[in-house]
Amino acid sequence: MKAATVVDGQVVVTDKPDPIPQRGEVLVRVRAAGLNAADLLQRRGFYPAPPGAPPDIPGLEIAGDVVALGEDATRFAVGDRVMALLGGGGQAELAVVHERVAIPVPEALDWPAAGGLPETFTTAHDALFTQCGLTMGERVLIHGAAGGVGTAAVQLAAAAGARVTATVRNAALHDAVRDLGAGDVVAPDAFAPLGPFDVILELVGGPNMAANLGALATGGRISVIGIGAGASTEINLLQLMGARGSIHGSTLRARPLEEKAMAARRVEAHVLPLVAAGRLRVPVANTFALDDVGAAYERFAAGAKFGKVVLLT
């Protein structure tokens, strides 16, 4: 098979042996694979794949057709359309997925949208609801809301009846984010007067944390799931104590199978019905052929995009 491969700090297409599904796994002919910030970090050598995932083939989310079943894999049949969150190896013509983390692709989704859904919507749903316990009527602040996880989070929070404020650096994208359900869309340095916020989803990193604490409601929760602008910061613990607030941090990639399976079931139960009903969508900024993987990475790194960058294989 052809696969995107990290070689000397670059991602190039090489030939790799076809993977073989093991017990409980399915082999998927990948049709689309979303790019994520973790892929750029892996390319630079900063985010190695967890044990069991291909060490040099990036790709955390895929959509495609089941083409073979491993021993005791019974949930799906050959020919079924599935999508899944992976530890790595998704940016290739073939990938193996444990059947417990795979979820069916709704008929309403085309391949690019399906390939951009698993990582973004699982991350956003986990941060908002599992970590932060978001409830109806609460006030939510989402930083970096024009990207893949940000656009998912805006829609999920709005669908849950929350009041959403989003920060987006590129003013040309404000209306598009507002159309997803955000009540207010502002520049990254203009959110404080719109608080206080019950839940803050931090997708940018350290530079926002001091202002986040200043805008946190009593009992508020901050979930840190992105650090593109920096991982280090200084915070005022007295502010955190005074707000009786909490700060959560999370990644999905290295979680054990049991936890990933639970996250997948929550997405299947709570997100897919809204997707099938047309209430949630996956904005796709650009698509690239697998052979153009280098250009896809450069487009992702350039920023100023609305939604996902997706490889089509």
Q: Give domain limits for the chain.
A: 2-117+276-312, 120-249
Mean predicted confidence (pLDDT) in 74-90: 97
pLDDT of amino acid 234: 87
At 179-204, the pLDDT tens digits run 999 999 999 999 999 999 999 999 98
CATH number for domain 120-249, candidates 3.40.50.1100, 3.40.50.970, 3.40.50.720, 3.40.190.10:
3.40.50.720
- Inform me whether the pLDDT recorded for 229 exceeds 80: no
Residue 84 has pLDDT above 80, yes or no: yes
What pLDDT, on a 0 to 100 scale, did the predictor assign at position 252? 86
Q: Which fold has domain 2-117+276-312?
A: Quinone Oxidoreductase; Chain A, domain 1 (3.90.180)
What is the per-residue pLDDT for 79? 98
Q: What is the pLDDT of residue 271?
A: 97
- Rounded to the nearest integer, the mean pLDDT of the chain is 95
Mean pLDDT of 114-129: 97
Q: Confidence band (pLDDT; 50, 70, 90) for 205?
A: confident
What's the CA gap between 113 and 4, in Å, rounded?
20
Average pLDDT rounded to a whole number, residues 60-80: 98
Q: Report the alpha-carbon angle 35-41-46, nearest 5.
A: 150
pLDDT of residue 310: 98
**28-37, 62-71, 215-224, 236-245, range with the lowest pLDDT:** 236-245
Residue 67: pLDDT band with limits 50, 70, 90 = very high
